Amino acid sequence: MLNKVEHIGIAVKNLERSNSLFAKLVGKPHYKVEKVESEHVATSFFMLGETKIELLEATSPDSAIAKFIEKKGEGIHHIAYDVDDIHAEMERLRNEGFELIHQEPKKGADNKLICFLHPKSTNGILIELCQEIK
Ligand code: ZN
């Protein structure tokens, strides 16, 4: 079962500029900036109640974020759902016929184990599962 929406990922061209834009939008500054070297992204997070906004900037032209922006421009990139047991959810969703982009969870930003579902199996939405690493 998927729990709450943990965060919404937004692809941006310039993290610094978007950090100040979103600080004005939500009324408070981001609480962390984190690079995820394996994904070639720099991220920042804003907390809004129980949900976060994750801004993502490509740090390399090979980054999925660079390719996304090239194709679609800036905007909503993924929706992330909190799960209690990512291995069990991956197994459940695989059995339900969803296509997982990777077959094992990866270490993501913000102290999470993550896995993405392919948008072609989810009505065009890139979905991230994330489990807090305790
Ligand atoms: Zn995310």
95 burial class (0-12, 13-18, 19+ CB within 10 angstroms)?
Answer: exposed
Give the model's pLDDT for residue 59. 97
pLDDT 10s digits, 42-72: 999 999 999 999 999 999 999 999 999 999 9
| pTM: predicted TM-score of the whole model, two decimal places | 0.94
Å from CA of 25 to ligand 1 middle: 20
Give the model's pLDDT for residue 109. 87
Give the model's pLDDT for residue 101. 95
Paired strand residues for 82: 130
Is the per-residue pLDDT at 1 higher than 90? yes
Q: Report the DSSP pairing between strands 112-117 and 127-132.
A: antiparallel
Å from CA of 35 to ligand 1 middle: 12
Paired strand residues for 84: none
Half-sphere exposure of 8 (CA within 13 A, CB side): 8
Dihedral (Cα; 13, 15, 21, 26), 10-degree rounding: 120
Å from CA of 90 to ligand 1 middle: 16
Tell me which residues have their CB within 5 A of the ion that is ligand 1.
9, 54, 80, 128
Q: Give the mean model confidence (pLDDT) for residues 108-128.
A: 94
